[in-house]
Structure formats: C-alpha cells, structure tokens
Amino acid sequence: MNTEIKKFRNFEITCHTVNTLVIGSGAASLNAAASLHSYGQKDLIIATSKWGGGTSNNAGSDKQTYYKLSLCGEHADSVAEMAKDLFSGHCMHGDIALCEAQGSVEAFMNLVRLGVPFPQDKYGGWAGYKTDNDPRSRATSAGPYTSKLMFQVLAGEVKRKRIKVLDRHQVIALLTDRSRSKAVGALAINMKTKDPLKAFVLVSCMNVILGTGGPAGIYETSVYPVSQSGSVGMAFKAGATGQNLGESQFGIASVKFRWNLSGSYQQAIPSYFSTEKNGRDKREFLNDSFPDFLSLTRAIFLKGNQWPFDPRKIKNHGSSLIDLLVFREITEKGRKVFLDYTRNPSILKGESFSFENLDRDVLDFLAKSEALKDTPLERLIALNSPAYFLYREHGIDLAREPLQIAVGVQHNNGGLKGNIWWESDLKHLFPVGEVNGSHGVYRPGGAALNSGQAGSLRAAKYINAKYNAPAPGPDDLIRESGEQIESKLIQAEMWLKSGKSSNNRLFLKKIRRRMSEAGGVIRSLEKAKTALAEAEEMMKYLPEKTGAGSVKELAEAFLLNDHCMTHLVYLDAIKTYIENGGRSRGSYLVTENENRLPDDLADHKWEPDLCRYDREIEKDILEIGFRNEGIVKKLMKVREIPVQDLWFEKVWKDFVQDNIYGC
Ligand SMILES: Cc1cc2nc3c(=O)[nH]c(=O)nc-3n(C[C@H](O)[C@H](O)[C@H](O)COP(=O)(O)OP(=O)(O)OC[C@H]3O[C@@H](n4cnc5c(N)ncnc54)[C@H](O)[C@@H]3O)c2cc1C
C-alpha cells in the first residue's frame, strides 16, 4: 500500500493506493479480508466506521443460528438438496442458492478451524437442529453469541495476518470511473482527526469489498444493535443495483437492550401483558384473542422456532397472531408491551396454567429438555441458562423485572445484487454479508451468516484470481473521478460553513419513523405512496438543511444523507410491489385488499390475502437502482438452479486452466 498527501480545494487529503479496499469489520468483511490474504493478495486495507461495531459483534438471540449442510450421522443431506431448499424461499436466483449451499461446508469448517466453538459429540458429529424454513436439521449454534464469536476469531485472524485497519473511518462515497461502469476507489472521513480540512481520506483501488451490513439506521423500531447503521445509499449513488429490497424480517425483540426473543425465550412460555404508557391498567391482552389455554401456550411456544412474523402463520391462532397483537397494542393503542418471566400466563376462560393443559408437543419438548418447571424463568434457565445471564450482563434481571418488547426489524433479505462471485453490476464492487441481497422472500434461520461467509470467500477467490493487478495512484483516480470527489468536498465546505447540526437528529428521526410506519410489518399502498413522496421531497431539501460543526458531525451529516437516499430507494421498492398487485408474504402484511385490518384478528372468517406467486411482481425479482438522479426499476426473471457438469476430468481441467471464473 502506498500513502501520500494531496491537496484538493482547501483540503489536505491522505491518499492510499491498494489492490483491495474492504469496507466494514463485520463477519463478512473480516472473512473476505483474511481469505484474500490467505489466497495470496496481501495488498489490502480495511476501513471501518467502528472496529467492533456492526451487527455481527453485537447481536444474537437465545441460540444464534448458523445454517450449513447437515454434517452428522442420521441426517442425509446433499448440496443439491440444500440449494433446492434455499431456492424454494422464492425470488432467489438458483445459481446463488447453489453457491451458498456448495460453499457452506468450506465456510463452516473455516470458522471451526479458527476456533468458533460449534458443538460436536464425542465422535466428532456436528449435531444440528431445525430452524425456521428448514426441512432438515441443518442449523447449528455456538450459543447466544454465535456471530460475536465469529467476529472474534476472524478479527484475530486479521490481526495475525497484520492486515492494516483504518479504524473510525467512515466511507462516504464509492468512486467510479467516468463511464460509471466500475468502482475505482472510495472517499472516507477519518473520525479520529480533529481538523475537518485534514480529515478526508481517499483510497484508489482495483476492488472494493463492501461489507457495511443491513440498513439498520433507517428504522425506528429495530432489533439491530445501536452500533449498526448501514450505508448502502452510497452504493446506489455509485450505480449499483438493489434487489428484493422490500423483503425484511420483523419479529419480537426487547427494546431497552435490543435482542431477538426467539427460541428458548418463547419456549419457556412467559406471560405477555401490556400497560398504558404510565404503567397503569395492566392486561394480559393475548387472552382476548385465544379461545383456550392450549392454543395460547402453543402459539407462544411456536414463536420460538417461528420467530419472524409470517402472514401464513396468523390463521387458526398461529404463532404470528402474537406479533400482530403486540404490534397493534403498541402502534394502534399506544400501550407498552412486556414479557414476564416470573409468572405463567394467567387464567383464560376458567383454565389456569398447568402441564395437563399444554399441547402434547410442547409438553414433550419441555419434558425431554428437563424443563418441566413451575415458572417461565425456571424453564428458561433449564432450557438455556446463557439466555438468562446475557440479560443480566446487560443490566436486566428477568427474575425481577418484566422485559419491554416490540415488533422490530432485524434483517434485510434483499440488498445489492451480485453475481455468483458476489460482484455487483457495478464492476469491481463486491457486496458481501447482509448488504448483498442474495436471499429471496423466505430464508432458513441462520442462512444470513452462511451467506456472508460463503459469499465473502467467493469474492476473495475471484479477486485473487482475476482482479489482482496493482491499482493506479491517486492522480489517476482524481483524473477519473475528480468531479465525484469535488462534489463531496463542496458539500462538506457548505455544511461546515453553516456550522449547524441541530436539525440533523430531527431529520434522522423523521426518516426512521417513516420507514417503520410505511416499510414495517403492516403495509399499504396509501402509506407507501405518502412516505415515498415525503422521502422524495426530503432528498431535495436535506443537503441544504444539513450542517456540521466538527469532523464527527460531518461524518454524521454524510450518513444522514446516505440514509435519506437508502430510504427513498427502499420505499420505492415497497410501493412498486404493492402498486403492481403484490400481496402479503415474507414478513409483512399488505392490507390493500382488506382496507383495514379486522378488529378481531383471530376471527376465523378473516383470510390474509396471501401472495400466490402467480403475478409477475410476485414471481420475479424487483431490481431497483439510481441512475442520472432518478430511480430505475425492472423485473428480473428468477434464474433456475443450474445443472452442473461434475465430470471430474472436465472440472479438473477447467480448474487447472483457471476457466471457472465465468458467470
Ligand atoms: C438480533 C439479531 C439476531 C440475528 N440472528 C441471526 C441468526 O440467528 N442467524 C443468522 O444467520 N443471522 C442472524 N442475524 C443476522 C446476522 O447477524 C447479520 O446479517 C450479520 O451479522 C451481518 O454481518 P455483516 O458482516 O454483513 O455486517 P455487520 O456485522 O453489520 O458489519 C457491518 C460493518 O460495516 C461497518 N460500516 C457500516 N457502514 C460503514 C461505512 N460507511 N464506512 C465504514 N464502515 C461501515 C460497521 O461499522 C460494521 O463494522 C441476526 C441479526 C440480528 C440483528
């Protein structure tokens, strides 16, 4: 890597020249960086807004899941079967599903080798369990902190390999060549610098690996950790295309300390109650919508393995009825909702909690897990004591206080589109991890972490084999993308001159509220249209009204504008889907054809209008991008799973001759 200082307008800019810039330090970015280094390309740097920030190092659940090919005795499995299961989630390209299935063993074993403690029996068997949308037992877990453990071992690997990390560097723009066909660099702000005129950092590179995670910063009600913001807006601005953007997962989570409440947290069968904002009028509101104790406790229990809200699971007192009732209690009635682990769900229509009143499967599960205990807390500890202690570590004792919850956004199945080497349509840009929208409508729990690892390995392989030339220096970069750099510097000058950042928080709040209201779990055309019009308006006035008085505020101002761009593109995708007849699916309910939700959500006569994949907008993948200051959209046919020619001699020859890097 070469480093030099260049003068540009009034700024003294630090310029690095490197083959590959890796943006972000989540599990996907770190794996990409460490793998690239192992394959032989050592000319790389990582730029990250916060080392240890992001989702991987700060999020989890009762037993955070990693999805991979089944690798233990009694579960027959194959790459083809796993690819089919990923593909069956709808709107996922078959070749990507195949790569994720094929890459899962290599990626998983890499983590094992690096030290993630995935459990094995004494014969070396990788025991598995079933997760949501998983017909086999492909899931494994290293406990509540699987992705944190992944971050730790991968961070260790990056340190061991002495890969240079530019910490507290927020990338604010991806730079392209003049024809806007490929990524050639990036502009960042070094937030450790005090002087704004010396804070800009320019990276000239052959390749950008983008691992900036999910679009957490645009939502108000969220399970994403506070340290994750995402910044996919700059990729849209540079010309990369998004796909399946409307497909996010929503579910029940704690709000004081954001954490996913799946698995044991529900299998322990806590009681749900709500209060007015001031804490008065405590009510077990679920009781109004369930006919008996058995169906109520079964729905709570099932929420454990059916965590994301799913409109197919509302009817007949399904587990997703609970998400809707919680959502309604909070957003429509303005109440607060809590889980109480000190008390069982109380009397319902004359029945009280007793093991005889439980569904047979529920009883069986608790008995086998040696968790037939008197209170939800005792059951939780018997099922999974780390799940209890992690709240204690975050200052919440479930033995003493109820846990406030909401239905929050956790993961975006969509994101930037990539080919089978995870390269976007903006060449030399490789979105990896959550920012790569490889998933379709449904995905098995744990497939996000697998995709991040399998995809980042493939990106590293491709770069090492095909894009390994040294990058041109900063003068060439400035010649190629000087206008793009200059426009950011002019913007910075303008914001610094105004000095005022007081409005920034207010605008951010507006973006987040708008997204949670129009792009959340309950959607309608009217809401999406209004929100989109507001977002378009905001795109026009925001650059003028943003301000900054310091380097930190300058970085925040760029991020705010990035979020504005992101929410504009996401809202357009959501509106377009509904406007063209898209119905409820994935993790949201489209109320278009019901006008409004019925008062009684448990009414057996009410049928959510479910997606049947018989309309273009439902069958195809909605691609959306930003070109010449406007949104462009198209529907893309789903590519089938390719038929492989695995004749060994042929594969061997292609491999040796480097002929495998086509698309
Ligand atoms: C509560 C919760 C539970 C989950 N449970 C599961 C599960 O059980 N199984 C599963 O498979 N998935 C799960 N997920 C999803 C999964 O954890 C994430 O998709 C995954 O960790 C994302 O990893 P990543 O490397 O893509 O991004 P992240 O880990 O989010 O990292 C993003 C990085 O980018 C950096 N960054 C962002 N913008 C910039 C910028 N402009 N410049 C520089 N750096 C930047 C951040 O600082 C961070 O380092 C869960 C998610 C949540 C929130």
Q: How far is the CA of 54 from the centre of ligand 1 (A)?
A: 5
289 CB near ligand 1 (under 6 Å): no
pLDDT of residue 595: 55
Q: How far apart are CA 383 and CA 398, in angstroms?
A: 15
Name the phi and psi angles at 456, rounded to 5. -70, -30
Atom of ligand 1 nearest to the CA of 63: 8
Distance 573 CA to ligand 1 centre (A): 22
Tell me which residue has its CA closest to atom 9 in ligand 1.
446
Owner of token pair 């004591």? 385
Q: Please tell me if the CB atom of residue 410 comes closer than 6 angstroms to any atom of ligand 1.
A: yes
Ligand 1 midpoint to CA 147 (Å): 9
Report which ligand 1 atom has the smallest distance to the Cα of 260.
1
End-to-end CA distance of the chain: 30
Q: Does the C-beta of 26 come closer than 6 Å to ligand 1?
A: yes
Closest by Cα among 143, 130, 79, 215 to 444: 130
| Shortest-distance atom of ligand 1 to CA 559 | 41
State pLDDT tens for residues 324-363: 999 999 999 999 999 999 999 987 667 778 898 899 999 9
Q: CA 155 from chain center: how many Å?
A: 20
Determine whether the shortest distance from the Cβ of 231 to ligand 1 is under 6 A: yes
* Amino acid in the structure at residue 34: A
Q: Is the CB of 558 under 6 A from ligand 1?
A: no
Q: Which atom of ligand 1 is nearest to the CA of 434?
A: 26
Q: Is 211 helix (H, G, I), strand (E, B) or coil?
A: coil
Would the CA dihedral through 108, 111, 116, 117 be positive or negative?
Answer: positive
- Ligand 1 within 6 A of CB of 132: no
Nearest CA to ligand 1 atom 41: 171
Q: Is 129 in the pocket of ligand 1 (CB under 6 A)?
A: no
Q: In whole angstroms, what is the distance from residue 270 CA to residue 388 CA?
A: 13
Tens-place pLDDT, residues 219-267: 999 999 999 999 999 999 999 999 999 999 999 999 999 999 999 999 9
pLDDT at 421: 98
Residue 544 neighbours by CB under 8 Å, 6+ apart: none
- Please state, in angstroms and rounded to a whole number, the distance separating the CA atoms of residues 277 and 257: 19
pLDDT along the chain (663 residues), means of 10: 93 98 98 98 98 96 94 86 97 98 98 97 90 84 96 98 98 97 98 97 98 98 96 98 98 95 96 97 94 92 94 95 96 96 83 86 95 97 95 96 97 98 98 97 96 98 97 95 97 92 92 97 95 98 94 96 98 98 96 72 84 98 94 98 96 94 85
Which of 133, 138, 212, 250 is the best mutation target for the ligand 1 pocket, counting ligand atoms within 8 Å of the beta carbon and taking the most?
A: 212
Q: Is 53 in the pocket of ligand 1 (CB under 6 A)?
A: yes
- Joined together, the tokens standing for residue 294 give 């058995």
How many angstroms is it from 37 CA to the middle of ligand 1? 22
